[in-house]
Amino acid sequence: FRHGEASEVVVPTPNGDVYFGERHPIVVVAGPCSVENEAMIVETAKRVKAAGAQFLRGGAYKPRTSPYAFQGYGESALDLLAAAREATGLGIVTELMDAADLSAVAKIADIIQIGARNMHNFSLLKKVGAQDKPVLLKRGMSATIDEWLMAAEYILASGNPNVILCERGIRTFDGKYARNTLDLSVLPVLRSLTHLPIMIDPSHGTGRSEYVPSMAMAAIAAGTDSLMIEVHPNPAKALSDGPQSLTPDKFDRLVQDMSVLGKVV
Ligand code: PEP
Ligand code: MN
């Protein structure tokens, strides 16, 4: 069980240092599932920043279930994230899938995301543990809390103390109405077990944009430190995860509603 104070993860961004942790306002990471082109990523970045987000998310390397599905634009998408960072000053969160891309991703990312499918990839965890950028560690879709915490331990034990745990929904027996079961019970459970900051991702957690606002609000009520919300300027045309993406207008409304419950910005 946990001993001592909550730790904080401090992430320098062009707009200033952002603090993740129990003692700080809720940090919001928002943006599209995938980086599709310069106009969409820069436009989305401006909109989510105006709404109150501190970080832009966007995938360059996408871990798709099907090898025939869109795999992300790779290194060229990293350049577009750098352009969006430059245009807005937002920090960048993007996923690393392959250790071979670590230096390219670390060059532009302010936080490196390890996706649910790689939570058990111990050699990748050791590599992100042996570099300085903070790591967002998503829970594997069938990972127990102990397995998830041990995955975090791999990063910590390799020398990187800056780990944020992200719940993104676990496999469900009833995928008819929601893609996953968002396990909000991790909030009190993790609080009792770990000092690490916690993020909730209701977008992957539900798979449906219409369910995202209520789950984001519930996560705040249950004490989350941060949220990840997928936002796309035209969800119907998104190359990945359109059905779970909010429009910038809906995201803006959600952040306003969230700030009634907790300190968001
Ligand atoms: C994502 O964040 O777009 C993603 C692929 O998430 P996860 O690893 O949780 O499925
Ligand atoms: Mn996605």
ipTM of model:
0.99
Q: Would you say 37 and 80 are in contact if contact means Cβ atoms under 8 Å apart? A: yes
Q: What is the mean pLDDT of residues 5-30?
A: 97
Report pLDDT digits (tens) over 74-122: 999 999 999 999 999 999 999 999 999 999 999 999 999 999 999 999 9
Measured from the Cα of 57, ligand 1's closest atom is 2
Average pLDDT over all residues of the chain: 97
Three-state DSSP class for 61? coil
- pTM over 0.90? The answer is yes
Phi and psi angles of residue 149, each rounded to the nearest 5 degrees, phi first? -65, -35
Token pair for residue 21?
């942790």
Q: How many Cβ atoms sit within 10 Å of the Cβ of residue 187?
A: 19
Our CA dihedral for 196, 30, 120, 206, rounded to 10 degrees, sits at 100
Q: Mutate which of 29, 33, 44, 119 to test ligand 1's pocket (most atoms within 8 Å of Cβ)?
A: 33
* Distance from residue 204's CA to the centre of ligand 1 (Å): 7
Distance between Cα 70 and ligand 1 center (Å): 14
Q: State which CATH number among 3.30.360.10, 3.90.1640.10, 3.20.20.70, 3.60.15.10 fits the domain covering 26-261.
A: 3.20.20.70
Average pLDDT over residues 210-231: 98
Of the candidates 133, 81, 72, 80, the one whose C-alpha atom is nearest the C-alpha of residue 102 is: 133
134: left (phi over 0), alpha (psi -120 to 50) or beta: beta
Q: How many CA atoms lie within 13 A of 89 on its CB side?
A: 8
Q: What is the pLDDT of residues 114-132, one digit of tens each?
A: 999 999 999 999 999 999 9
Is the CB–ligand 1 distance for residue 63 below 6 Å?
Answer: yes
Residue 114: its H or E element: strand 111-114
